[in-house]
Structure 1
Amino acid sequence: MSEPSVIDVVVIGGGVAGLVAARECLKVGLDTVVLEARPEIGGCIASAELDGLRVDVGAESFATRGGHVAELLDELGLADSIVSPAGGGAWLALDGGDGGPRFAPLPKTGVLGIPASPLANDVRAVIGTRAAIRAYADRLLPVLTIGRESNLGELVEKRMGRAVLDNLVAPIATGVYSADPRHLDVDVVAPGLNPAMTRAGSLSGAVSQLAASRPAGTAVQGLRGGMTTLVDALRASIAHFAGRIETGDAVDGLRREGDHWVVTRAAGDDTRARFVIIATPASSALPWLASARPDWAAATTVPWPAGPPVELVTLVVDAPDLGAPRGSGLLVVEGTPGVTAKAMTHASAKWGWLAEEAGDRHVIRLSYGRLGAANPLDGQGDAAVTALALADASALLGRHLGSTDLRAVERTPWRDALSHAAIGQRERVDVLESLVREDPSIAVTGAWLAGTGLASVVPHAKEAALRIRHNALGLTPRP
């Protein structure tokens, strides 16, 4: 009886991190297979066909920082497909004091909502003059009270007051990281802010320095046709290098046998490989690591915080007269009356290519679910969720949208959105990654290690693959 064949690399997880890592291994001739439990690859990038439109129902853009995503897109032949959002900007929805919401444009100069100029007109329009004066007092607080801060929420409240925290910083923290700012690590979400405070002597002065050092240009971009265009290109590139992607069969175990790894699967045959890259969420990656290497159990079984359950509801409505009353969308301050959603993206107003395809229709995405609270859509039937989403969209856009306007609707739940930016998470990640680096035959990647968004995930996945392919080719072990 012949011995089972052993391939070079198995990548567990078919999200962008796994696909990027697999492609990097394939580029140097390593026989590589990607295993994905779900029927479709792409992870947090997904689309749906709604009323004849291909619409993103997951990540819809990427941060331009570092240039890592643009470099990957160029490699994949997608550079000409990169598009910038329309110039309408984002808004905030707040308590209007009359039982309904009020609206104001999101202030333009700041970092995570922390204003560089607390007395600016757009800041006062959100928090009022009295709260703006309190925020400006940050400039007058003694420099000696500034140390190295770790808690973003506590820092903002101490230096600028509760109004800035609740009405400017919290909505952005919730929208970007699905987390309360009191749970976020300053050094992770705002690198350079602590040393800038020491130099400037105030929080607003530090924000001014960081804002001035940012490169000019759009902070986020997208792809004509939607972000799943990237997934399609990665799939094609993996096929070009003779890689394989196997979907619909969950991995249920990982163990070491002699000089190779054995990946056991729920329905299919075991897969044997010299090297393994785990590119799944923490909820599955951590148990595999603990069972594969018992000496790693201490680092993998410590309490890892759970991410909030988030659900997107995407509407396509027939509303020729709607326009773009809230620009590209808005963030909702917690407690805003008459609104259940935490954020809304007016996708057809944000992306010109989608507006062209939609014609008189509008594509609106509403996001539900905040950390520490039950998702308001849990247990709700489709009819109730659709009615709630239409009511929220009507309240936020100032134009009644009813069932007669609705052309299509899609619910998309997202789970396991563990934030790399949570306080203490970076230390947990550092310990785990230092252990994994001791074994040259395994690597781990994904947003729970790398950070939120493709700008963090892509370079982390490439580095994980570079270490594996370096070791697979018999070169000096890469740290």
Structure 2
Amino acid sequence: MQAAGSSAAGTAVKPAAQTAVVVGGGISGLLAARELARAGVRTTVLEASSAWGGCVGSHVVAGLTLDSGAESFATRSSAVADLAAELDLTGQIVAPEPGGAWVQLPDGPRELPRTGVLGIPANPWDPEVRRSLGLPGSLRASLDKLLPATLGTTADATSVSALVRARMGRRVLERLVAPVVGGVHSADPDVLDIDMVAPGLRAGIREHGSLAAAVAAQRRGGGATAALSPGAPPPGLQKAGSAVAGLRGGMHTLITALLAELRREGVTLLRGTKADTVERTAGGWRVSSVGTAHDAGLLVVAVEGPAAVGLLAGALPELTARRPEAGPDVSLVTLVVDLPQLDAAPRGTGVLVAPQSPGIQAKALTHATAKWEWLADKAGPGTHVVRLSYGRGDARHGARDRPEPRSDAELFEAALKDSTALLSVPITARDVVAWDVVRWGGALPFASLGHKRRVAEVRSICAADGTLAVVGGWLSGNGLAAIVADTPKQVRQLLS
């Protein structure tokens, strides 16, 4: 089947009135194609790699099909649950096991508070918070409710660290927020825009009077929203009180379902087809790849920020000044081990690592078989899946002197050493059944200070064009929930 609006041998045909090309076959690109196809637009998706889904991908380790990127989604928004319902996956939504996560601090491991946003506690006197902060830290954090609501909320842009330090103090920042921000965003809280990584939080301070109250309101609001949504997680998940959920079989099953629907809708899906250039034509847009030109009336660019701006700079030179910084390079090391000693889940579902913790290079560890019951059943007794994440991006906050491990061999050795330290169970090469390294080069969006303004400017330029949409985590914010909510909205605006 030939792609809509394309022809072989480097030639191109004039597009029909309702045709579109989507550049990028990650979750954003597939969602964009879905919205276009449902509106009756003949759509072609170009993906440079050999696999669909981007950061919501899969790989096989020791015969187990595992998530190679995202393995859960935030439940404060109903966006992913709604999508799952539309794809007949509601019955596959599962809560993680109730063991909870831990945080590795310089003075040892502590249970991570379960009622927070970005590690910011809703109650500084919760037992887990008190154990992590100590009495002086909880006292300082509790002053938040006495401070004016204007503190940290009036500037056009504020970093995560500036807001947390001003309202709750240094210990909350270093012992709770920095590990969470490093684990989730691979970035330093000194340079992250709070309005991008926790939208609505500063407005919540003005409304409720304190940062803790704003966090509590966000936690409550997410649950209420989910309860009213047709795609809401099942009651068991709501009762679990978890801020995240997953899909039985892995988050990559979402991509499988999306691809099946796109094929039913007649969308042309081209893997291994890199978009080399983008230019305007009399009828809309021409996207050229090796040997083929794809013409369409509408264009959706769904690749990471620097690449998106690079593709569009010739047609929209005003975007050049809005080029974002590249995201950090992240490496995920997956170990499948035969080690019954881990049956006890000594650190619950995993560990986030404070940057200043000595001797540990990983920024996070997920004990996947302790987190997901379905995976433990699939792996079998005594077999465990452990995933470690490397690559902190800008590590000025608690920076380390040692360089990050780079090669597969270095990462494997680091993973053995770090998992032993973090789980307090010796893990050696002899225990490893199989292992794999997955690298994400600049795939995580880097929401540096002022990024919200840059996003608004990019969106304004694209909207003024009328035939172009640019989507992805670098614009919507990091995380599946943000991407799933934002992408259809942007495409609907394009179609209108």
TM superposition score normalised by structure 1:
0.90
Query: Shift of the alpha carbon at 1:451?
Result: 1.1
From 307, 326, 350, the counterpart of 2:371: 350
1:419 corresponds to: 445
SS at match of 1:126: helix
Do the aligned residues in 2 keep the contact of 1:85 with 1:351 (CA within 8 Å)? yes
Residue 204 (1) aligns with residue 227 (2):
no
> Which one is further off, 134-143 or 282-291?
134-143
| Cα deviation code 1:359-406 (max 9, x no counterpart) | 121001100111225997867432332121011111111100101100
Report if the CA contact (8 A) 1:300-1:432 is conserved.
no
Q: Percent identity?
A: 43
TM-superposed CA distance for 1:418, in Å, is 4.8
Change in 2 beyond 3 A, CA 1:196/1:410: same
Describe how 1:66-465 pairs up with structure 2 within 5 A.
66-96=77-107, 102-141=108-147, 147-148=153-154, 150-215=158-223, 217=238, 218-265=242-289, 267-293=290-316, 297-302=317-322, 304-323=324-343, 324-359=345-380, 360-373=382-395, 380-419=406-445, 421-465=447-491
* Structure 1 portions without partners, runs of 5+: 97-101, 471-477
Change in 2 beyond 3 A, CA 1:260/1:117 = closer
Counterpart check, 1:4 vs 2:9: no
Match of 2:232 in 1: none
Cα offsets for 1:166-188 (capped at 9, x unmatched): 01111111222222222222333
Following superposition, the deviation at residue 284 of structure 1 comes to 1.4
Further displaced range: 224-233 or 299-308 = 299-308
Structure 2 distance, partners of 1:13, 1:259, is: 22
User: What is the distance in 1 between the residues matched to 2:75 and 2:483?
Assistant: 13
Question: How many residue pairs end up in the alignment?
Answer: 461
1:427-448 CA-partner distances (Å, limit 9, x unpaired):
1110111111112211111111
Q: Answer whether contact 1:309 1:417 (CA < 8 A) is retained.
A: yes
200-209 vs 238-247, which deviates more?
Answer: 200-209
Equivalent-residue separation in structure 1 for 2:262 and 2:218 (angstroms): 39
Q: Could you tell me which residue of structure 2 aligns to residue 473 of structure 1? A: none
Q: TM-score, normalised by structure 2?
A: 0.87
When residues 443 and 170 of structure 1 are mapped into structure 2, their CA distance, relative to the original with a 3 A threshold, is: same
Deviation at 1:5, TM superposition (A): 4.8
Closer, same or farther: CA 146–42 of 1 in aligned 2, 3 Å: closer
Note if contact 2:31-2:487 (Cα within 8 Å) is conserved in structure 1: yes
Of stretches 244-253 and 121-130 in structure 1, the one that deviates more from structure 2 is 121-130
The code of the aligned residue for 2:362 comes to A
State the alpha-carbon separation in 2 of the partners of residues 321 and 378 from structure 1.
29
User: What SS class does the counterpart of residue 445 from structure 2 fall into?
Assistant: coil
Query: Which residue type is aligned with residue 414 of structure 2?
Result: L
Distance 1:390 1:9, change over 3 A: same
CA 1:195–1:241: 2 relative to 1, 3 Å: closer
Counterpart Cα distance in 2 of 1:155 and 1:190? 12
What residue number does 1:474 align with?
A: none
- Is the alpha carbon distance of 1:207 and 1:407 closer, same or farther for their aligned partners in structure 2, counting shifts above 3 Å? same
In structure 2, C-alpha distance between the alignment counterparts of 1:382 and 1:208, rounded to whole Å? 42
Q: CA deviation at 1:6?
A: 2.3
On the 8 A contact 2:279/2:285 being kept in 1, the answer is yes
**Counterpart secondary structure, 2:176:** helix
Ranges in structure 2 where 5+ consecutive residues have no aligned partner: 1-6, 225-237
Cα contact 2:15–2:283 (8 A) shared by 1:
no
Contact kept? 1:89, 1:106, Cα under 8 Å:
yes
Deviations 1:276-304 (A, max 9, x none): 111111121101211123xxx23333452
Q: Is the Cα contact below 8 Å between 2:325 and 2:446 reproduced in 1?
A: no
Kept after mapping to 2: 8 A contact 1:450/1:456: yes
Deviation (angstroms), 1:454: 1.6
Residue in 2 that maps onto 1:99? none
Q: Which residue of 1 aligns with 2:234?
A: none
CA contact (8 A) 1:118 1:124 kept: yes
